[in-house]
Copies of this chain bind each other. A is one copy, B any other.
């Protein structure tokens, strides 16, 4: 099948860029040094490729992601890097897979134990105002967990507020500050694991024993602006359905592609159309002005680049692995985005 035959909008993955990204990361962080985060692609077929590059332990953000990874035979070592108040669905997997969950409070420790989960990491706040206990409280949480019969494998802490810091020196210094907090907690908690980092800090974080990067595989325009060695592999294919009336008083001429708010994650802003200026997105449309007026016409296919990969993927039921640019590019495989939902 050719790209030209796909119904639009359609999520495309450039096979060459994906392979480059997976190989580049596997060279930098081989085997267990990377614990790929599946939330960025929500696709077990893609996780299987990551496993093929040597990474057998994965990070998940939702219970549904954990269940789907186990069902796909990728349950060697799954970390739910999030807190849950109901761990029964996780506990139900404990005989078929190795499941570890984050805890940062008495309530989440209790939920993990009650649900039948056996192993935890203590989640430590390293500066992002989100989940995680205070570094100085981590030892106490670990004790609570052990008292509840849970094995404590170590700590996790996510320096998420640093991922898009563009200045490399600044990012490195700030990452070191965050990881000093996590190291202190790790000393109090014990265990083998210090899990942290992401695509933005994978090369800066020298403290973590494993990095939780996910976006590196498919990338987006926000990460693309940070100067990382990964290529934009993800786009949303659309069909131009309308062009501005020749008489319009609004200038320059615009065209409308059938890629909109329901096929694009919008929290990082508008998508990018190469060779054009994007004006705005509607539910099922993006209006843009080509740099070369009237160079794009009704019926043309356009690849739209999302600003944020994770929520974009969550809007699609499938992604298409394609080989090359243009309408003649071959659709190599079609993968269900099978880890959606909760």
Contact = CB atoms under 8 A, between A and B. Distances in A.
A250 interface: yes
Interface string A83-98: 1111000000000000
A63 to B, nearest CB: 8
Given A129-B279, A131-B285, A261-B310, 5 more contacts: A39-B283, A62-B284, A83-B256, A85-B298, A311-B315
A82 interface: yes
A25 B263 CA distance: 29
Nearest to A341: B317
Interface stretch (A70-78, A101-109, A226-234): A101-109
Given A298-B105, A298-B108, A299-B85, A311 B282 contact: no
Interface in A106-128: 107-108, 123, 125
Contact of A82 (B123, B130, B284, B341): B284
Contacts of A243: 105
A308 B340 CA distance: 21
State the 6 A-B residue pairs at the shortest beta-carbon distance, nearest first.
A134-B245, A131-B242, A83-B241, A266-B267, A261-B311, A107-B298
Nearest to A125: B245
A136 interface: yes
B265 A8 contact: no
A213 B127 CA distance: 44
A82 B256 CA distance: 11
A178 interface: no
A324 to B, nearest CB: 22
A131 B298 CA distance: 11
Given A130-B256, A299-B107, A308 B245 contact: no
B287 A130 contact: yes
